[in-house]
Structure 1
Amino acid sequence: MDVGPRHLFVTRGDLTALHCDAWLLPTDRDGSVTPGWVVTMAATGRGVGDARGGRLDEPARRELAADGATVLRRPSAAGPGIVACDTAVPHHDVPAAARAASTALQRLTALTADAAGPSAALELPRPRPLVALPTVGVGAGGGHGVRGAVLAGQLDALQAALARDDAGPDVVLVCFDHEHYAAAQRARRSAGGDERFAALVGPELHERVVALAAHARAGRLVPFVGAGVSMGAGLPSWVGLLDELIADAGMEADRPALDRLDLRDRAALIQSRLGAGRLAEILLERLGRARRVALQHQLLASLPVTEAASTNWDDLFERAWTAAGAGPVAVLPFDGRAADGSWIVKLHGTVRDGRLHGVVLTREDYLRFGAERNALAGIVQSLLLTRHMLFVGFGLNDETFHRIAHDVRLVLERTVGLHGTGAYATSLSPSRHSVSEELWRGQLDVLSTRRPEDGEGRAGTAPAARRLEILLDALGMHAVDPLGHLLDPTFDGALSEPQRRVAAALRRFAADVGPASAALGPDDPTAAAIAAWLDRMRPADR
């Protein structure tokens, strides 16, 4: 099956928390690492650390000195492989950073060539393995003063390596903060990212992504995270979970009869046979399988969004979102009112502190939703009316969603007329949805990433799911603030030549207007507005 060429993803978050087959631990030539990696080294048993940083053990240092890299852990179902590699960047040496990225990818590719890593354990295994590496040399390293050029060089080197060898894994470059993530996305787009994505997903889907990115940049995009997203982290689908529970309840002989029941009634019979307490124990054990976030979690969490909704019980998206710089994420209704920061509505309950809270599973739970969760439904309805909601990994057949969407439809029909409003949401799915598209016409744009050549059944879903990841990656590239970093010359290497000329002009303007606006006084609204506009062009975390 042709799954398409290898792909380079760019995300922001915690490299060590990503569900992948292998990832890179950056060191210098002596095997030393910065303090943030010390805990990771200790977990491999191959390093020691103190408050100043850490260092690989002596056998690993010898391998590093002889070969420039050493394997700290091989991939297995228990976790991804880890390769330590000398990625030190001499002062302002951009080619050295590119070579380091290329060498690191070679080591990761070799490590995953014959390994059956975590991807093989997924309900829908990836058609290609996935390896991850961090940006190098742009933090406290020798490339900090030319970090835009260093990032652009790394991206070019990785892209060239993928083009040379089409038999290897997909790659994700994980940025540790927003400023480097935004600069990497800008560099990728300047190097022909638009054309590359249009060729991968097709012009029509690419055009839809550009429109979604405009919503994101304007603060109007709201992700709705469904169970399909968490399948990439090793969790089962809703139907797959019930299949497992049937076996746990000793109801295999009843499976033909159970298969004819509504899923909610099937869950009620399973709960009756197991008992509520035992069912909760099993569900917690199943959710505990996912120790790392999926690539889709990290791609969605990298978007410039502050509001989200989900029917998932797991907390994987919240973890990815926090690691991507969202700060503490309020989970509604369990954290009371939403704070000024990011928040997510959990419609079907959540897991927290080793316990399940407010889980919706059986028909009785769904019926109780109307009595207990009207406030949550109202929040989602408000988001549907005032934002553009992006459904990912969600089948659009959930009873709770149907109730919410029905009320929104009535409001629109009674006011401005449904067909005059345009779609208020978009659904991205790896399944074919010709019937759903007709059912939701005028309300939701239902976009499928499945192609005829993918085939039918489960076998065809894996390449379509990977294509959905690529679509989310394109969304991230287009959603980045176009004004970011323009006042910081260390990022000039990530800009095109016309952009650099604009940036130079803006710096001259900022040098003149900054002192002049300050003379207006701190209470003058003009000064505040100018300061806010200039801040958009300085590297700052969101």
Structure 2
Amino acid sequence: MSGHVFVVGADLRRLVCDDVLVPTDRSLRVTAEWGELLPADVVRSEDDDGLCLGLDWDGDERVLGVPGGRTGDTGRQLWLVDTVDERERDPEDALRWLVDGAREALAAVARRKVPTPVHGRARRLVALPALGTGWGAAAGQRGTLLARLLPVLHEGADAHGFDIALVLRGPSDLAAAQRVRRAEPDGWDLPEHLQQLARDLGERARRGQLAAFVGAGVSAAAGLPTWEQLLDELAGRSGLDDGLRAGLSRLPAQDAAALLARELGRQQLECFVKERFGPGHYALAHALIADLPVQEFVTTNYDPLVELAAADIGRRLSVLPFDDAVPGRPWLLKLHGDAAHPESIVLTREEYLQFGDSRAALAGVLHSLLLTRHVLFVGTSMQDDDLIRIAHQVRSAIQAPGADPRRRSGTVLALRDDPARARLWEQDVQTVAIAPADTPPAEAARVLEVLLDCIGCLSTPPTGYLLDPAYRGMLSEEERVLAAALEQVERAVPEEASSSAVGEVAALLRRLGSRACAPSGLPPDEASDPRDDRLQQQRPG
């Protein structure tokens, strides 16, 4: 069974996966940023050029598994891949040599058996950067490399049956890779109705009409508990006798939480939430959602994984209500509180009731999105009392006497077909089943990731690399002429401009891939393009 190739903006060091390919050379040197993934006993020395590893190649091989097997708490196996060719080659031969190394690496990875992928994922996930674009054989040829590398990754996913994530950091890289993918005839193994949905949601995102709601199902892929699992974990700490613990399952979830909060004490409950839902590795779905050109995010989750995934591609989200909303900066509303502020969490029946009073302003933000945007609901079963209340209030407002009929205000991506629940919500949102009712949950969650990948590709602006010299080879003749004209404008933009008009032009040039136009007086993520190049490009390999 074929795997899928994802393209995602993320930090490989923080992405939940089973295998990571790390670029190196014949001296087994890697850039320092990979140090946190390596076992300490493998690093022989460190200098300004990176880390030297105390390992040895076996003959002419180009792939070496890091001994010690799994690293960190996510079970990732590291593989070193030689991407620095010491021989003189013409550019075409150098690229061929490089992609042959990627093919060899995927074959080596496939020989390691992984009976159970991390956190119960349906398929093993292998992640790699754009090999060879730092020190390696494709330095300065990023566009050509992507056009050659992606077919090899598809070939590997087909041959070995695992999923592959090509992980990129810069907006130019993402825009160029998505352009290559849009030209592929069969890039997504999705039924036609899901491909049409991806086209619709991608168009909404490009036009600034889409907002995203992230539920607990997304964070489950990162190893965090669902609501029921959280209550079970709390019960294990509570000291309740077996009879009371058995009775918890017969109580409504919010009442069970109230009993556990009473037994544990509020302070212990808050300490547990802060520890359990603190910063950690994020799942592929977190990164795919954070990549979307969306300015407004809402979540009922306590964890910081959406904002971490966004930060890793240079998007700093204001987390409401704890941060100030800044014009031009995307934001994330924590509807039920934040683990970093454990006193804010909403868990018990009493806290849910208080939500309608003291936290009405937060609910009002979601009211506004449902009235003015199309909200994409991911990872939620739509059973949360607050969501039900908010949807009812919005429905009441738009069905006022004399009001025109309104379109449905959102799309719920349900893992499996549930006609009754879809009928229940049909006045408010369209519910789209990702898979038939008999599909295993893990496989349905994987199809959801493929759909998010497709939406991300179709929503990425196709111009983000126009002024990036590394992608000059991808441009058509017409685009080269335009890029040359824009480069003259680029050179005319002063470094310390105070004019708002100049700032607007500089922001446009950044959106087109310019690295010369730094924002004037504002951090890049507060300029008009939230996905700026503030973060350094990855430079391994």
Do they fold alike, i.e. is TM over 0.5?
A: yes
> Aligned residue for 1:25?
22
> Aligned residue for 1:100?
101
User: What secondary structure is seen at the aligned counterpart in 2 of 1:482?
Assistant: coil
> Aligned residue for 2:535?
none
> Aligned residue for 1:457?
none
Whole-angstrom distance in 2 between the partners of 1:302 and 1:37: 23
1:509, distance to aligned residue in structure 2 (A): 5.3
The one-letter code sitting in structure 2 at the alignment partner of 1:5 is S
Whole-angstrom distance in 2 between the partners of 1:322 and 1:522: 27
Q: Is the 8 A contact 1:23 1:131 kept in 2?
A: yes
> Aligned residue for 1:283?
273
> Aligned residue for 2:528?
none
1:515, distance to aligned residue in structure 2 (A): 9.1
> Aligned residue for 2:171?
178
1:148, distance to aligned residue in structure 2 (A): 0.6
Query: 1:82 and 2:78 equivalent?
Result: yes
**1:298-319 CA distance string (max 9 Å, x none):** 1111212232111001111111
Whole-angstrom distance in 2 between the partners of 1:22 and 1:190: 28
The one-letter code sitting in structure 2 at the alignment partner of 1:189 is R
Distance 1:452 1:270, change over 3 A: closer
The one-letter code sitting in structure 2 at the alignment partner of 1:85 is V
Distance 1:424 1:67, change over 3 A: same
> Aligned residue for 2:338?
350
Query: 1:397 and 2:383 equivalent?
Result: yes
**1:356-394 CA distance string (max 9 Å, x none):** 230100000111112221221122211222222111101
Higher relative contact order (CA 8 A, sep 6+): 2
Query: 1:293 and 2:321 equivalent?
Result: no
> Aligned residue for 1:472?
452
The one-letter code sitting in structure 2 at the alignment partner of 1:53 is G
Distance 1:91 1:389, change over 3 A: farther
Q: Is the 8 A contact 1:309 1:345 kept in 2?
A: yes
The one-letter code sitting in structure 1 at the alignment partner of 2:263 is R
> Aligned residue for 1:189?
182
1:421, distance to aligned residue in structure 2 (A): 2.4
Task: Return the match for 2:253 from 263, 276, 285.
Answer: 263
1:47, distance to aligned residue in structure 2 (A): 4.7
Query: 1:462 and 2:477 equivalent?
Result: no
The one-letter code sitting in structure 1 at the alignment partner of 2:301 is N
Distance 1:259 1:20, change over 3 A: same
Task: Return the match for 1:252 from 220, 224, 242.
Answer: 242
Distance 1:322 1:530, change over 3 A: closer
**1:96-126 CA distance string (max 9 Å, x none):** 2211222222233333x14656x1xx3xx11
1:142, distance to aligned residue in structure 2 (A): 3.8
User: What secondary structure is seen at the aligned counterpart in 2 of 1:24?
Assistant: strand
Aligned length: 507
> Aligned residue for 2:432?
447
1:514, distance to aligned residue in structure 2 (A): 7.7
Whole-angstrom distance in 2 between the partners of 1:233 and 1:85: 27
The one-letter code sitting in structure 2 at the alignment partner of 1:398 is D
1:258, distance to aligned residue in structure 2 (A): 2.5
Query: 1:503 and 2:456 equivalent?
Result: no
Whole-angstrom distance in 1 between the partners of 2:99 and 2:251: 57
Q: Is the 8 A contact 1:91 1:143 kept in 2?
A: no
Distance 1:331 1:270, change over 3 A: same
The one-letter code sitting in structure 1 at the alignment partner of 2:144 is A
1:218, distance to aligned residue in structure 2 (A): 1.8
Q: Is the 8 A contact 1:313 1:349 kept in 2?
A: yes
User: What secondary structure is seen at the aligned counterpart in 2 of 1:414?
Assistant: coil
Whole-angstrom distance in 2 between the partners of 1:274 and 1:512: 66
Whole-angstrom distance in 2 between the partners of 1:332 and 1:51: 40
1:215, distance to aligned residue in structure 2 (A): 1.6
1:494, distance to aligned residue in structure 2 (A): 4.9
> Aligned residue for 2:392?
406
Moved more, 269-278 or 72-81: 72-81
Where structure 1 has 5 or more consecutive residues not aligned to the other structure, the ranges are 455-459
1:534, distance to aligned residue in structure 2 (A): 5.4
The one-letter code sitting in structure 2 at the alignment partner of 1:177 is G
Q: Is the 8 A contact 1:486 1:537 kept in 2?
A: yes
Q: Is the 8 A contact 1:38 1:47 kept in 2?
A: no
User: What secondary structure is seen at the aligned counterpart in 1 of 2:165?
Assistant: strand
Q: Is the 8 A contact 1:430 1:465 kept in 2?
A: yes
1:530, distance to aligned residue in structure 2 (A): 6.9
Q: TM-score, normalised by structure 2?
A: 0.85
The one-letter code sitting in structure 1 at the alignment partner of 2:449 is E
Whole-angstrom distance in 2 between the partners of 1:76 and 1:515: 46
1:513, distance to aligned residue in structure 2 (A): 7.9
Whole-angstrom distance in 2 between the partners of 1:40 and 1:334: 32
Whole-angstrom distance in 1 between the partners of 2:90 and 2:481: 27
**1:172-202 CA distance string (max 9 Å, x none):** 111122211221111112232xx332xx221
Q: Is the 8 A contact 1:41 1:48 kept in 2?
A: no
1:485, distance to aligned residue in structure 2 (A): 2.0
Query: 1:68 and 2:69 equivalent?
Result: no
Whole-angstrom distance in 1 between the partners of 2:438 and 2:473: 40
The one-letter code sitting in structure 2 at the alignment partner of 1:391 is F
Whole-angstrom distance in 1 between the partners of 2:14 and 2:232: 28
Whole-angstrom distance in 1 between the partners of 2:352 and 2:43: 50
Matches within 5 A, 1:354-393: 356-393=342-379
**1:460-509 CA distance string (max 9 Å, x none):** 211101100000011111111022223446425556xxxx2442343365
Distance 1:398 1:513, change over 3 A: same
Whole-angstrom distance in 2 between the partners of 1:245 and 1:517: 58
Whole-angstrom distance in 1 between the partners of 2:410 and 2:256: 30
Distance 1:287 1:529, change over 3 A: closer
Q: Is the 8 A contact 1:228 1:237 kept in 2?
A: yes
Moved more, 530-539 or 375-384: 530-539
The one-letter code sitting in structure 1 at the alignment partner of 2:99 is A
Distance 1:356 1:385, change over 3 A: same
Q: Is the 8 A contact 1:384 1:408 kept in 2?
A: yes
Distance 1:532 1:256, change over 3 A: closer
User: What secondary structure is seen at the aligned counterpart in 1 of 2:380?
Assistant: coil
Whole-angstrom distance in 2 between the partners of 1:515 and 1:39: 39
> Aligned residue for 1:49?
46
